[in-house]
A and B are shown apart, each in its own frame.
Chain A
């Protein structure tokens, strides 16, 4: 899947993550939360993959599974071609330097009792990088890199605003010079004006440190600026994977269409003119996900087949994959071509099921992008 043919930095192969639901005195397992259900993709070095979906779609669980804060229940994660899905804590330790995470809530992810210097410096201490003086110097450099000042070394997290705290979180993630950074909703807790600053910072850092990002967000507006490709998840499944710009001009999966149309446009006239697809209700329970296409209960193009057969991920050309029986923005010829071609199918999907008919229209949830 990588564009240059070399091994991708991260490969996610049919990863599943289930959480048992236990009840009663004996803690019998009465069900399973299908948080991530058979997801496959790869991220090449230097690339940014945006991972988008509503709360409860499994995007954070997937992010945590990739950096092995969680162990996959099935499938495997490959880092630089090496299987890490089953490694134990000790074997993982050297790998922790290579992949780091930035968390969503800047108020909860920094220890309030520690000074900024040790928050950022401790990862280096744990991994025995440099001596005390070198570490201090490096922390101060990092503070400058993320737009804070070296004098902040001895301060406590409560002395900083939300945006500044998130910068501390980024500096901590960069302390060990990782190759991969998984950023889990790093800007959703911030004001829009600060969001823009942070997104620009992520962009600059990528160039400076040759980072590979997996950037998790629920808002398609935010990920557009950082992503090369975007993966859309719904209820544990990957439902669309596309080069970034193409997703905005030509969404194939109706869920993506709805997500796009939910992003507010700060222009009253355009906002009034465009067709708003307001999704009814919430994401259904991942304990007992809907049959067939998991999006069918909320989909406006739903037919009988969607209720019964799970659609396979189909390649519509230009590495644009989507799983839908009634794809949008696809013409007859493309449809005939993809019906004949092999599919990137999760094991659970019905390989023989083909997108039957297009939803019959071109959809532009975003006016003139």
Chain B
């Protein structure tokens, strides 16, 4: 069995605000092993980014309440004092942010920003660090890294900036790489390049990847396991094939149906999830997806637990419908025929 790097146990992250307590993450658990890719999928406001930032210790604040554990190589990151966390951050867990336009500092050269990251964690002189920065830029596929290392971010295109961000995240050989919507701001062609790059680098650096996205199409290729989040909770979790071929949660069906499929005949209307995600201050009673679910019934006023309901042991979901019922209506819902009926 592969080495287990990370174990998140029943993580809660609540923010106290003027309007009330925002339950951004509400009981999330998962494990991550070396060499694996975990996809976290959900709409804006589902808590996926807060989960990622909490792993990096970036949500610490007087108004934040944590519960649960994040065990990384045997140590609980939630309770780790800030100076120790600083050593972990970037060194053990690296992160790529969504927007490559704003996550690089525009007034420093790209190379210097990578050098800074390296020298923050290791005692190496500037010359060595710069040589490493050039190597890293080469590994992530920047042409002429020897000269581009002295460029400013504005001289890079969007795709190149994201590559530079990846180089920076990998500069200290982290064991876990968190990519938070790494391709959302990019063209589809560049998206394909970046996904391929992350997949290759995971093997080169022998690390594990958490890939966060709102688009199931992006994780179809490289994820091993996928968790689907809604309103701060995990609503479905399983191996990639289980999620795509035997999905058990109507929310996942909605996400699947929203993607325009080039490999299928064009439907009259795209299937879509009606409405918007709920406010995290006032969650709906019972199943949080109930108000938007086309299959909701009486029992949904009670909250379903995240349980295994199908034959495959690792496949969990939060839905009261029986497996037979779900399998009967699933494909129609994904194709959007339920709405018309």
Contact check, B260 vs A225: say whether CB atoms are below 8 A apart.
yes
Q: From A75-83, A216-224, A286-294, A347-355, give the one contacting chain B.
A: A216-224
Please name the residue on chain B nearest to A162 by beta carbon.
Answer: B44
A230 to chain B, nearest CB (A): 13
Cβ-based interface call for B122 (8 A): no
Chain B residues, Cβ within 8 Å of A200? 269-270, 272
Contact check, A221 vs B259: say whether CB atoms are below 8 A apart.
yes
Cβ-based interface call for B241 (8 A): yes
A254 to chain B, nearest CB (A): 13
Cβ-based interface call for A259 (8 A): yes
Please name the residue on chain B nearest to A54 by beta carbon.
Answer: B187
B293 to chain A, nearest CB (A): 13
A162 and B265 alpha carbons, distance in the complex (Å): 29
Chain B residues, Cβ within 8 Å of A163? 276
Q: Interface code B174-205, partner A: CB below 8 Å = 1, 0 otherwise?
A: 00000000000001111111001000000000
Contact check, A262 vs B189: say whether CB atoms are below 8 A apart.
yes
A271 and B193 alpha carbons, distance in the complex (Å): 15
Chain A at the B interface: SS class: helix
Contact check, A191 vs B192: say whether CB atoms are below 8 A apart.
no
Give chain A interface residues in 198-241, CB to chain B under 8 Å.
199-200, 203, 218-222, 224-225
Chain A residues, Cβ within 8 Å of B273? 193, 196-197
Contact check, B216 vs A266: say whether CB atoms are below 8 A apart.
yes
Cβ-based interface call for B255 (8 A): yes
Give chain A interface residues in 257-287, CB to chain B under 8 Å.
258-268, 270-272, 276, 278-282
Q: From A30-38, A308-316, A361-369, give the one contacting chain B.
A: A361-369
A143 to chain B, nearest CB (A): 16
Contact check, A266 vs B272: say whether CB atoms are below 8 A apart.
no
Chain A residues, Cβ within 8 Å of B240? 268
Contact check, A270 vs B263: say whether CB atoms are below 8 A apart.
yes
Output the residue of B214, B265, B272 with the most chain A CB within 10 A. B272
Please name the residue on chain B nearest to A52 by beta carbon.
Answer: B188
Please name the residue on chain B nearest to A217 by beta carbon.
Answer: B188
A263 and B189 alpha carbons, distance in the complex (Å): 8
Contact check, B263 vs A369: say whether CB atoms are below 8 A apart.
yes
Cβ-based interface call for A164 (8 A): yes
A84 and B300 alpha carbons, distance in the complex (Å): 59
Contact check, A268 vs B192: say whether CB atoms are below 8 A apart.
no
Please name the residue on chain A nearest to B217 by beta carbon.
Answer: A264
Taking A55-B158, A191-B43 as contacts, is the C-beta distance between A271 and B220 under 8 angstroms?
yes
Contact check, B266 vs A225: say whether CB atoms are below 8 A apart.
yes
Closest 6 CB pairs of A and B: A264-B217, A196-B272, A196-B258, A221-B260, A196-B270, A262-B192
A selection of 28 A-B contacts at a CB cut-off of 8 Å is A55-B157, A55-B158, A161-B45, A163-B276, A191-B44, A192-B258, A196-B258, A196-B272, A197-B272, A218-B188, A219-B188, A221-B188, A221-B261, A224-B260, A224-B266, A225-B260, A258-B189, A263-B262, A264-B218, A265-B217, A265-B263, A266-B217, A266-B220, A266-B259, A268-B240, A279-B189, A282-B159, A368-B263
Binding site for A on B (CB under 8 A): 43-45, 143, 157-160, 187-193, 196, 214-218, 220-221, 240-241, 244, 254-266, 269-274, 276
